Structure 1
Amino acid sequence: MNSYRVGIAGFGAIGQAVAQSLDAGLPGLTLAAVAVRDPNAPPAFAWTNGAPKFTTIGELAEHCDVVVECAPAAVFRDIAEPVLRAGKKMVVLSSGALLRHEDLIDVARQHGGQIVVPSGAILGLDAITAAAEGVIHSVTMITRKPVRGLLGAPYLTDNNIDIEGITEPRLIFRGSPREAAVGFPANLNVAVSVSLAGIGPDRTTLEIWADPSLERNLHRVEVVSDSASFSMEIQNIPSANPKTGRITAQSVVAALRKMSGPLRVGT
């Protein structure tokens, strides 16, 4: 069984949830380090097996074999590049930011590193990647979110779209995941992940709806290919951060288990 030292970049709702699972004990995995703004004043956390090393994002790679990125998209490159240049694994949650730094894929290739995009808050990436081995004709994703989870998105601000007082579902965006990654950087990493698994961020169609009747994030994906036609829908319970579903952190833990476990289920 392989053994990995894991680092976490960012210690918000997702980072803490992943840290809690690692601290409780996962076979073959050790939480070695956590990158925070001020390593000399780390946030309070109830560690059961001793606190890991706190460090900066620039120094995180030297302490770890795998780094989990769950920080603001603005520091994505600062986290990812040192890890990939060191030939290590990078678990990426800000897949939208990856579109703005696609050259990092070549960095990983040149230095023997690997970028791992977990399922996050979406489902069916295994089916989509399998279908992509043949010909996918179309991928359409429809996202519906509670109003509070979309407030402050740059796309709404730039286009003077006010959704605070709406009483009925409202279509606020229709376009590609590449466009959405810029306009909704804190919301639509799931759409980018779907596009990377399938026909790419420019050919995938995405609709975003603000729905005042919802308490959960809802994503529906419809795929038509030469091997299968299928649709999938998931309703995510928000975490402490309303922009993120609880299952996101759990998908990271599941991805880490696959790296070290004796049994791997799913493509």
Structure 2
Amino acid sequence: MSTKRIAIAGLGEIGRTVARKLAQGLPGLTLAAIATRDRAKAKAWLDREGISCPLVSLDELPGHADLVVECAPAAILDQICRPMLTAGKQVMVLSASALLPRPDLVDLARAHGGQIIVPTGALIGFDAVSAAAEGTIHSVQMMTRKPPGGLAGAPYLVENGISMDGLASALCVFKGSARDAAAAFPANVNVVAALSLAGIGPDRTTIEIWADPAVTRNCHQIRVESDSASFTMSIENIPSENPKTGRITALSVIAALRKLTSALQVGT
């Protein structure tokens, strides 16, 4: 089996975790390049970790990698995806919210033989949702509860003058479709965007978002009604150093990468 070259775009909490794991060794995979805004900071971190890896620009990624893991701000998703997809390569997208208004990226992948992969991330049960979608799904409803700090600064809260400071009790800050939630909270609810892509789409998938000072974890509950099964899923994710991101998100990326070259694949 030939070695698959993996690059990382963005070296925040998730990017660093994935880079460490690739440097330690994943069968059939190699860390080939990193693209990040602050090269000096990235170089210092790589040196401290003892990781040897070239730092490149986004448009250089296709020459270094077969697959890029996107761990960057949603605003630069196009700059990461377009060069890779045009070259017929793969991009693993974590900023699923940014995919919803960009169906042209899927068209680009299809036209050039590229592929966009959205990992399970901070949720569970995508296998069940994807399987149910082969039949008829009647509804997908999600409720998210996060510590107020995990929602602070979201565009929707800023635009509507909703402050997370000193919140004493749970507050429902949003109720609507996955598409609207993705635009309102682009860095906070990639989970519901990914869920909608696995199931019945962003306009029929609904979500309630709660800021809850009583919780210390990012809590997600999902209910699916379909012609093949009715099921509920619940997960409480321990936040990483970035309160907007659960620790399990980076581990989900690593699991998805491992699956690319594994002799045994479990799950749909």
TM-score normalised by length of structure 1: 0.97
CA distance in 1, matches of 2:165, 2:234: 26
For residue 20 of structure 2, what is the aligned residue in structure 1? 20
Residues of 2 paired with 1:163 and 1:134: CA distance? Answer: 41
Paired AA for residue 249 in structure 1: A
* Residue 229 (structure 2) pairs with residue 228 (structure 1): yes
Deviation at 1:213, TM superposition (A): 0.7
- Give 3-state SS (helix, strand or coil) of 2:52's partner: coil
Which segment drifts farther, 39-48 or 65-74?
A: 39-48
Residue 7 in structure 1 maps to residue 7 in structure 2: yes
The count of corresponding residues between Structure 1 and Structure 2 is: 266
More moved, 34-43 vs 17-26: 34-43
Distance in 2 of aligned mates of 1:109 and 1:47: 38
Q: Match for residue 160 of structure 2?
A: 159
Aligned equivalent of 2:56: 55
Tell me how far apart the structure 1 counterparts of residues 234 and 2 of structure 2 sit (CA, whole Å). 34
Aligned to 2:260: 259
User: Could you tell me which amino acid in structure 2 is paired with residue 36 of structure 1?
Assistant: T
What secondary structure is seen at the aligned counterpart in 2 of 1:118?
A: coil
Tell me if 1:115 matches 2:116. Answer: yes
Tell me the secondary structure at the aligned position of residue 207 of structure 1.
strand
Contact 2:149 2:164 in 1 (8 A): no
Q: Which runs of 5 or more residues in structure 2 are unaligned? A: none
Give the Cα–Cα distance (whole angstroms) in 1 for the partners of residues 138 and 76 of structure 2.
35
Q: Work out whether 1:175 is the aligned partner of 2:166.
A: no
Corresponding letter in the other structure for 1:257: R
What SS class does the counterpart of residue 115 from structure 1 fall into? Answer: strand
- Distance, in Å, in 2 between the alignment partners of 1:57 and 1:260 is 25
Query: Displacement, 1:47?
Result: 3.6
Equivalent residue, structure 2, for 1:245: 246
AA matched with 2:37: R
Which residue number corresponds to residue 93 of structure 1? 94
Q: In 2, Cα distance between the equivalents of 1:38 and 1:144?
A: 33
Overall identity of the aligned pairs, in %: 58
**Does residue 136 in structure 1 map to residue 137 in structure 2?**
yes
Name the CA distance, whole Å, in 2 between partners of 1:262 and 1:39: 36
The answer for the alignment partner of 2:216 in structure 1 is 215
Matched residue of 2:259: which SS? helix
Q: Which runs of 4+ in 1 moved over 3 A?
A: 38-41
Structure 1 SS opposite 2:223: strand
Could you give the per-residue CA deviations for residues 57-79 of structure 1, whole angstroms, max 9, x where no partner exists? Answer: 12112100010000001111000
Shift of 1:40: 6.2
- Alignment check: 8 A CA contact 2:92 2:117 kept: yes
User: What is the alpha-carbon distance in structure 1 between the residues aligned to residue 115 and residue 45 of structure 2?
Assistant: 31
Contact kept, 8 Å, 1:2 with 1:259, in 2: the verdict is no
Q: CA deviation at 1:3?
A: 2.4
Q: Which stretch has the larger CA shift, 22-31 or 52-61?
A: 52-61
Amino acid at match of 1:25: G
Shift in Å, 1:38: 4.5
For 2:180 and 2:3, the matched residues in 1 are separated by: 39
Cα distance between partner residues in 2 of 1:16 and 1:245: 14
Query: Structure 1 residues 2 and 131, CA, compared in 2 at 3 Å: closer, same or farther?
Result: farther
Q: For residue 6 of structure 1, what is the amino acid of its counterpart?
A: I
| CA distance in structure 1 between the partners assigned to 2:244 and 2:144 by the alignment | 13
SS for the counterpart of 1:263 is: coil
**Structure 1, residues 101-129: CA drift from partner, whole Å, max 9, x if none?**
21000000000000000001111111100
Amino acid of the structure 2 residue aligned with 1:218: C
Give the partner amino acid of 1:177.
Answer: A
